[in-house]
Amino acid sequence: MQNNSKGCLIAAFDNENYIYFDMAMIAADRVAKHLNIPVTIVTDRTDGNIGPHKRIVVEKPGNNWRSDDTTWRNLIRTKLYDLSPYDRTLIIDGDYFICTSNLLPHLNSNVDFIMTKQVYNLTNHKLESFKLGNTRIDMYWATVCIFNKCNESHRIFEMAKHVQEHYEYYSILYEYRRVPIRNDFIFSVALHLMGGYGMKDYSFKNYPLVNCDSKIDYDRFEDDKLVYRYITDKVYANSIKNIDLHLMNKDQF
Amino acid sequence: MNTEELRDAARVAYDRELAKQNINTAIESRMTVNYGGGMFIVTQELIAFLHSWFGPNWKDWDGVIYMMDAYDVPVKVIPHELLYICQRRWWEVMNEFAAEYEEFTKIRNAKQL
């Protein structure tokens, strides 16, 4: 392991519909450009040009069925603590487009573990925090996470592994949907348990997650500016730039 | 563009308040600085607080204070150092905001996006 090293991990496992590896490469290039830190892609693919980035090859995680009947190979997130070669690691999803250096102050701070919780809504300009299931614990989004290699982070990831392993039990206990298995839910439960049953806040401060989800249509994305449409009482168009974007609609890439 | 596309384009509305809030959110998330291993959110209150250490009774004082950063970690702070960093950040980000806001005022409808 490098001493006092900082870097980014992105997991990428292709399925029958999407080549996540290519998406991860785009995301990795953006991390290198805006944050200037090394990037390691965790994948099962040994082929494909990795450019200036590094690669950790692991076995493809098991199937996770989505409602659209496609497989989703997302169940590696809880193992990223063990796989990370860095002392301080940034984890992002492959569809997270870094457009700014806004994450750097968080990366350069001393906090041991943070994960995104607040979401900026692109259709009604509200900052929203979601609750999980009927038990209404705070919901975290595993899309962006920063952690130190330390006891606290290690315990959180170990608890997350446990929640993943006993997902059905926790889905009944916390009363949330069992299928598909979501990393957001796994970490929400793990952070609730490890933070003294919700006493501790692990959220990013002043860094809302901008989820560009199925409620909006992407018109175009150029020069880090997204022009999008959405429907409320009528069809609207608007734009957003100079902020990191979670481009969730993979069909519209 | 064919007639149908033109008709669709004409029907698209533009929410100016949302556009303004999009700019505000982007600008606010840039208002962070690192100092002494901590992270601080630059606000008018923080700048005023740091400045208060240079009042009449503290004139020429060059000591150290402790402050909680955004993540509730205590950080050793030399006020004039952090003040300078915050003021510089404020200046950079607000200048960008002013430029963006000027662009924003020129947009009257969705076609200009």
Spatial contact of A94 and A12, defined as CB atoms under 8 Å apart: yes
Q: Where are the domains of chain A?
A: 6-216
Distance from CA of A122 to the nearest CA of B (A): 8
A208 and B25 within 8 Å at the Cβ level: the answer is yes
Report which of A34, A189, A25, A171 is spatially closest to residue A98, judged by C-alpha positions: A34
pLDDT at A3: 52
What type of residue is A71?
A: T
Give the 3-state secondary structure of residue A236. strand
Q: pLDDT below 70 — which residues of chain A? A: 1-3, 65-69, 253
What is the DSSP secondary-structure string of B35-95?
ETTEEEE--HHHHHHHHGGGSGGGTT----EEEE-TTS-EEEE-HHHHHHHHHHHHHHHHH
| CB count in 10 Å sphere of residue A190 | 25
Give me the pLDDT at residue A142, please. 96
Contact with chain B for residue A148, Cβ under 8 A = no
pLDDT in tens, B25-75: 999 999 999 999 999 999 999 999 999 888 777 777 778 999 999 999 999
B70 — contact with chain A (CB < 8 Å)? Answer: yes
Q: Helix, strand or coil for residue A159?
A: helix
Whether residue B79 has a cis bond before it, omega within 30° of 0:
no
CA distance A159 to A163: 6
| Residue A2: per-residue pLDDT | 46
What is the spatial distance between Cα A94 and Cα A26, in angstroms, rounded to a whole number? Answer: 8
Q: In this complex, is the C-beta atom of B6 within 8 Å of any C-beta atom belonging to chain A? A: no
* Cβ separation A235–B18 shorter than 8 A: no
CA B26 to chain centre: 8
Residue A119 near residue A211 (C-beta atoms within 8 A) = yes
Residue B49: its pLDDT value, please? Answer: 95
Residue A233 phi/psi, 5-degree rounding, is -80, -25
pLDDT at A69: 67
Chain B residues whose CB is inside 8 A of the A106 CB are: 32, 39
- pLDDT given at position A40: 97
**Burial class (CB within 10 angstroms; exposed 0-12, middle 13-18, buried 19+) of A232:** exposed
Residue A215 contacts B, CB cutoff 8 Å: no
**Contacts by B3-12 with C-beta closer than 8 Å and gap 24+?**
B8/A235, B9/B110, B9/B111, B11/A234, B11/A235, B12/A229, B12/A235, B12/A236, B12/A237, B12/B110, B12/B111
Q: Look at residue B5 and tell me whether its pLDDT is greater than 90.
A: no
Q: Is there a contact between A111 and B39 if contact means CB atoms under 8 Å apart? A: yes
Nearest Cα residue to A41 out of A93, A78, A82: A93
Phi, psi of A89 (to 5 degrees): -120, 135
Q: Is the CB of residue B94 less than 8 Å away from at least one CB of chain A?
A: no
CA distance A143 to chain B (A): 17
A129 bridge partner residues: A118
B10 or B104, which is more confident: B104
**Domain at A6-216: CATH code:** 3.90.550
pLDDT tens-digit profile of A47-90?
Answer: 989 999 999 999 988 777 666 667 778 889 999 999 999 999 99
